[in-house]
């Protein structure tokens, strides 16, 4: 099974604010993110990484091996399709490149159709 690493490190739509606004952290992750120099936001009792994420370098996560559990667990529709074998890696990478080439409503339509989950 394709683990999606190549796709995700070429994408970053769930790290740059395109699909997600914040990532919730548990207490251990707050300590890890702080040690790594990343800003941790507060919203009441919640501790959050705000997006665009400060760990994002281009389309890659700089702290991939230490990324929060919710980042590691996140599956957009396209990644789920790749893992299920419903699309090839090349097809999935082409979807990301196509989405990046678009703006405005056209881009929003592709994001809705190929990345967001019901």
Q: Is 99 in the site for ligand SF4 (CB under 6 A)?
A: no
Other residues' Cβ atoms within 10 Å of the Cβ of residue 8: 24
How crowded is the C-beta side of 62, counted as CA atoms within 13 Å? 11
Q: Is 71 in the site for ligand SF4 (CB under 6 A)?
A: yes
Give the shortest CB-4-to-ligand SF4 separation in angstroms. 6
**What string of DSSP letters covers 78-106?**
HHHHHHHTSS-HHHHHHHHHHHHH--HHH
Give the shortest CB-44-to-ligand SF4 separation in angstroms. 21
Residues that bind ligand SF4 (CB under 6 A): 4, 7-8, 11-15, 19, 23, 49, 53, 55-56, 61, 63, 67-68, 71, 74, 76, 78-79, 115
């Amino acid at each position: 099974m394709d683990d999606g690493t190549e796709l995700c490190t070429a994408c970053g739509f769930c790290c740059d604010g395109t699909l997600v606004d914040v990532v919730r952290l548990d207490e251990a992750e707050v300590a890890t993110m702080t040690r790594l120099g990343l800003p941790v936001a507060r919203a009441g009792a919640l501790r959050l990484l705000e997006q665009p994420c400060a760990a994002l370098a281009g389309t890659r996560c700089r702290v991939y091996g230490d990324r929060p559990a919710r980042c590691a667990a996140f599956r957009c529709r396209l990644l789920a399709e790749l893992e299920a074998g419903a699309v090839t890696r090349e097809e999935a990478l082409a979807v990301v490149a196509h989405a990046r080439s678009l703006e405005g409503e056209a881009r929003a339509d592709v994001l809705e159709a190929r990345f967001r989950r019901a």
